[in-house]
Chain A
């Protein structure tokens, strides 16, 4: 009888210690930080040399060997560039007039955001990687912090979940635990966009039955959660259904970003408040971001 009793006591004691450690970490986050600053960074050191070699080889192939269609692509890009220049010219005059009107009406100026590029080095890894995340090659050494917005040129990608010293993991907008406060671009109906898992549509929740929203409408971040800047594109409405038993519409939306094919992302950070930054000659990148946030 002594043997089984001893084993039972050991199991109960082990369970107690484990759950105490788990709940202590949930409250403080110390062990998560320890694993991010060790495991996440070490895994990135392991992966980086191989990724560097792979980039060099594919880069060499693309630049010097595989030149098919380069002239055609160049012509297309020149056309696109001229279209964009024309569009910027029209929009910048409208933007300046909007700024003047806001100033006349004493609106407080929108927050300025700085952005920096980061490279995706891995999708989720290991048995404990059950959330939809990607790892990027910038961490706290580059000023990356938890909950920083992550975007691509197509729209919002997600937010920073954990940071190591030189690596961070990004919670993608497709994950079931992701929530983004959004607003319709044309009809301005607000809602909460949540993920339903990789490869699934996003779900727009808490949109009233009488709200106006149409398939094809672009959803922009509303800025209400305090994490994302206002006005960044997130998803496009693909299906709107009226339910007889719910107080809210059932709406599905398609993310604008192909999370599986992500290679580079932009990390957004609030610019420090500086009286000089209010001057009209702000850097082009910052200006573009704040203008987007002002929609």
Chain B
């Protein structure tokens, strides 16, 4: 039997996904779903995070036009940043989120260039650097907004000290 919390989670993450896809249509080259992965990991949602990552990887790969692999590396490295960063920082501090944003901002042009080279494609670097800068600013802002709007009934963690 489907639990009410699961229905609530599906509704919330579904709405988040729809909004993020629409914003990504308006702001090309920037990932608005990535803060959701971190938020879900902070909520220690377990298998729910894996499902979200799986669906969003397919979504990003489908919307994108590079050979398959960007989304896997992107969300894999994002999860790694978060797990490693938790050893040094308070998981919910805004400073930590800003650092993850900077990490993603640097990662975007590197990953784009690396995968385009592997796929023998030509990709202009300057726009991807600009998108990386935008990503670095957008990530903490979206995380703060999503964290504020995240339903209390879905929270499984305790607030920071």
Contacts and interface: CB of A to CB of B under 8 A. Distances in A.
Interface of A: 14, 18, 21-22, 25-26, 31-32, 34-43, 46-47, 50, 122-131, 133, 135, 161-162, 164, 169, 171, 176-177, 197-198
A42 B59 contact: yes
Given A34-B58, A123-B28, A125-B25, A130 B65 contact: yes
A43 B59 contact: yes
Contacts, number: 136
B66 interface: yes
B138 to A, nearest CB: 11
Contact of A130 (B21, B24, B128, B135): B128
B123 interface: yes
A127 B65 contact: no
20 contacts: A22-B115, A25-B69, A34-B68, A35-B71, A37-B62, A39-B58, A123-B28, A126-B29, A126-B59, A127-B30, A127-B60, A127-B74, A127-B108, A127-B112, A128-B60, A129-B28, A129-B64, A130-B29, A171-B65, A176-B123
Contacts of A133: 65
Contacts of B65: 124, 128-131, 133, 161-162, 169, 171
Interface size class for chain B?
Answer: 35 or more
Nearest to B73: A18
A22 B118 contact: yes
A68 B73 CA distance: 53
Interface in B103-146: 108, 112, 115-116, 118-119, 121-124, 127-128, 131, 135
Interface secondary structure of B, over-half rule: helix
Contacts of A43: 21, 59, 62-63
Nearest to A15: B73
Interface in B1-54: 17-18, 21-22, 24-25, 28-31
B67 interface: yes
A164 B74 CA distance: 23
A38 B64 contact: no
Given A46-B18, A161-B65, A129 B29 contact: yes
A47 B21 contact: yes
B17 to A, nearest CB: 8
Contacts of A128: 60-61, 63-66, 70-71, 74
A242 to B, nearest CB: 26
Contacts of B31: 126-127
Nearest 5 CB-CB pairings of A with B: A39-B62, A128-B64, A35-B61, A40-B62, A31-B68
Nearest to A122: B25
Given A22-B118, A123-B28, A126-B31, A131 B66 contact: yes
B72 interface: yes
B131 to A, nearest CB: 7
Contact of A177 (B70, B71, B121): B121
A281 B29 CA distance: 49
Contact of B122 (A18, A38, A177): A177
